[in-house]
Amino acid sequence: MKIKKFVLPFLDVNCYLVNYKNNNFLIDPGSNYKLIDKYISDNKISLNFIINTHGHFDHIGAVPDLIKKLNIPFYVHEKEEDIIKDPEKNLSSIFISNGLSLKSYSLIKGESKKDFLISGMDIMNFPGHTPGSIIIKIDDCMFTGDVLFKGSIGRTDLPCGSNQDMNGSLKKIKLFERNLKIFPGHGLESTIGAELDNNFFLNSID
């Protein structure tokens, strides 16, 4: 597996371009459509799909332009449907006039999906930051979005957030193998082991 990380300037979102088993896909293209498109074009990459860890504006901002130009599917968890359609819930109304409401998308249903689209790619719903926040696990790598960061976790005080749900998600995260690598939605990479040892929020959960 090859992973290319773009740190996008709008709120420093991490967007990942992943090559896995002859598939190329984007995770969380939040802004800078032209930057992402130029890299894909310059490197002659054929993109298969886009998948988002959740539906906040800083993570979905470049999605409409990318799917329009490339004519590829965009996947998001079914519990995020209201968020990606509602500018107030996805927070875009704060940053752009008229906000952003996504019209073209495909929904991931259920709490977990093994071998989603590609053998070895597992999708798991970890609510708290948003109801449909997901972690994407591929081999020993976990793309955690805004659920888990290096040294921190995602906010629960935004629209549709839930502290109770986040606590439940953190309890499940503590059960993962220590060697798993974490690729978060913001900030630096880490491992489950490092977070179990150093992340206050994980350590505060029984």
Torsion angle, alpha carbons of 193, 152, 165, 172, to 10 = 0
Residue 104: which residues within 8 A CB-CB, separation 6 or more?
64, 67, 74
Contact, 76 vs 105, CB < 8 A? Answer: yes
Contact, 108 vs 134, CB < 8 A? Answer: yes
Residue 197: which residues within 8 A CB-CB, separation 6 or more?
none
Domains defined for the chain, CATH in brackets: 2-203 (3.60.15.10)
Give per-residue pLDDT as tens, 3-17.
999 999 999 999 999
Give per-residue pLDDT as tens, 91-102.
999 999 989 999
Confidence of residue 182 (pLDDT cuts 50, 70, 90): very high
pTM of the model: 0.97
